[in-house]
């Protein structure tokens, strides 16, 4: 009996052991399958890549897309400058593309892998920041301005000076951005937002220090504050204002009469990208007219792909601030890469925030 039970014990042990090995094998196989899926790591602005765009690419190409966000071009630069981020796709604005090219942080694009490049309108190509688009492909374009709740803010704001009005103390937010924010004060003072005159920049700095006690928050994701009703006005990017207006229809947007900034955000591949081929497939996918239309409808920024317009509703195509009038366009400036003087903007902004 003793012999019998020990024999059976060893049979059961062997069976259990086989089962265990089998389970480990199956688990490692399943795990191995998901691990072996290529992963595309995207680093972008919030509200820029929708779940629909992400999962559409995942399903069609059998890969995983992970999206991480940043709040300013300078945050993106800081992260990339450290190296080895693992990001495959980034979306710097115009002047930051120029800075990144000079700093040798970007990979040259292989146009053969991006046949949909030909879908882009020439109006958005060959700009000063990447004269032959060797490193960048335009994603969207927009402006900075003031979003306001028209059921509360009266009269309708038409000047940046409203952001110095005591009446709105603690009721508005300002972008937390070393170029946009000094830029708004420079425009209010009648200067270029690309000034390299230290005295003009100093005047803008003093204005922003004076404004500080009135500001509820410095925040780039103003959409959330506007929807929640935490602020009645926000210095923000246009698409974010229009996205907020979808949820809270009394939100309107204006570009002040003194003028403002305009931008093109671009898709680029960092030099250190682990999956360059997949990144180029992703860029090509973004440039399909129907996909690009979805991007514009989601972000509420303009499309650089004319054929995408066939898939867009009238209210976007005729939107006076997504496609500004010639008069408004004249009042806008591109933020430029000002070389060494750029540091003075960052220093001024740090000093303002430290006050």
When asked if residue 265 is in the footprint of ligand SPD (CB under 6 A), the reply is yes
Residue reference for tokens 């009446």: 167
State the number of binding residues for ligand SPD (CB under 6 A): 12
When asked if residue 337 is in the footprint of ligand SPD (CB under 6 A), the reply is no
Q: At what angle do helices 51-61 and 276-286 cross, to 10 degrees?
A: 120
| Gap between the Cα atoms of 157 and 198, Å rounded | 29
| Gap between the Cα atoms of 45 and 20, Å rounded | 46
Question: What are the phi and psi torsion angles at 54 (to 5°)?
Answer: -65, -50
* Cα 267 off chain centre by: 10
- For residues 135 and 139, which CB has a smaller minimum distance to ligand SPD in the complex? 139
Q: Which of residues 113-152 bind ligand SPD (CB under 6 A)?
A: none
When asked if residue 194 is in the footprint of ligand SPD (CB under 6 A), the reply is no
- For residues 168 and 191, which CB has a smaller minimum distance to ligand SPD in the complex? 191
When asked if residue 242 is in the footprint of ligand SPD (CB under 6 A), the reply is no
Shortest distance (Å) from residue 104 CB to ligand SPD = 22
When asked if residue 172 is in the footprint of ligand SPD (CB under 6 A), the reply is no
Shortest distance (Å) from residue 244 CB to ligand SPD = 11
| Degrees to nearest 5, angle at CA 154 with 203 and 146 | 45
Out of 93, 116, 143, 296, point to the residue binding ligand SPD (CB under 6 A).
93
Structure tokens at 101: 């090219």
From residue 62, how far is each of 41, 184, 222 by CA, in Å?
14, 44, 35
Structure tokens at 266: 């671009």
Shortest distance (Å) from residue 180 CB to ligand SPD = 6
Out of 43, 237, 282, 298, point to the residue binding ligand SPD (CB under 6 A).
237
| Gap between the Cα atoms of 74 and 177, Å rounded | 8
Shortest distance (Å) from residue 336 CB to ligand SPD = 11
Mask of contacts with ligand SPD, 23-62, x by CB under 6 A? ----------------------xxxx--------------
């Amino acid at each position: 009996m003793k012999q019998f039970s020990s024999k059976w014990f060893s049979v059961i042990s062997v069976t259990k052991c086989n089962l265990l090995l089998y389970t480990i094998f199956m688990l490692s196989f399943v795990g191995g399958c998901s691990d072996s899926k290529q992963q595309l790591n995207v680093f972008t602005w919030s509200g820029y890549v929708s779940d629909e765009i992400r999962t559409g690419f995942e399903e069609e190409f059998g890969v995983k897309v992970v999206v991480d966000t940043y709040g300013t071009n300078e945050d993106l630069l800081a992260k990339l400058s450290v190296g080895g981020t693992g990001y495959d796709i980034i979306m710097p604005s115009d002047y930051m593309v120029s800075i990144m090219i000079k700093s040798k942080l970007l990979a040259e694009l292989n146009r053969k892998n991006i046949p949909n490049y030909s879908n882009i309108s020439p109006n958005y190509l060959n700009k000063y920041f990447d004269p032959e688009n060797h490193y960048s492909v335009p994603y969207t374009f927009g402006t900075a301005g003031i979003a306001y709740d028209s059921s509360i803010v009266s009269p309708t704001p038409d000047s940046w000076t409203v952001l110095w009005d005591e009446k709105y103390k603690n009721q508005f937010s300002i972008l937390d951005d070393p170029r946009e924010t000094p830029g708004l004060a420079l425009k209010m003072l009648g200067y270029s937002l690309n000034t390299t005159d230290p005295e003009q920049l100093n005047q803008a700095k003093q204005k922003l220090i004076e404004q500080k006690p009135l500001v509820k928050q410095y925040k780039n994701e103003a959409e959330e504050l506007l929807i929640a009703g935490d602020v009645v006005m926000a210095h923000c990017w246009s698409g974010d204002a229009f996205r907020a207006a979808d949820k809270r229809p009394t939100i309107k947007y204006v570009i002040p009469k003194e003028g403002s900034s305009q931008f093109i955000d671009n898709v680029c591949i960092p030099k250190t990208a682990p999956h360059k081929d997949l990144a180029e497939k992703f860029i090509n996918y973004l440039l399909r007219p129907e996909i690009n239309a979805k991007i514009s409808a989601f972000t509420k920024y303009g499309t650089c792909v004319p054929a995408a317009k066939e898939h867009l509703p009238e209210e976007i195509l005729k939107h006076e601030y997504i496609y500004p009038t010639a008069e408004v366009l004249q009042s806008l400036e591109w933020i430029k890469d000002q070389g060494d003087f750029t540091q003075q903007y960052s220093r001024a902004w740090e000093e303002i925030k430290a006050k």
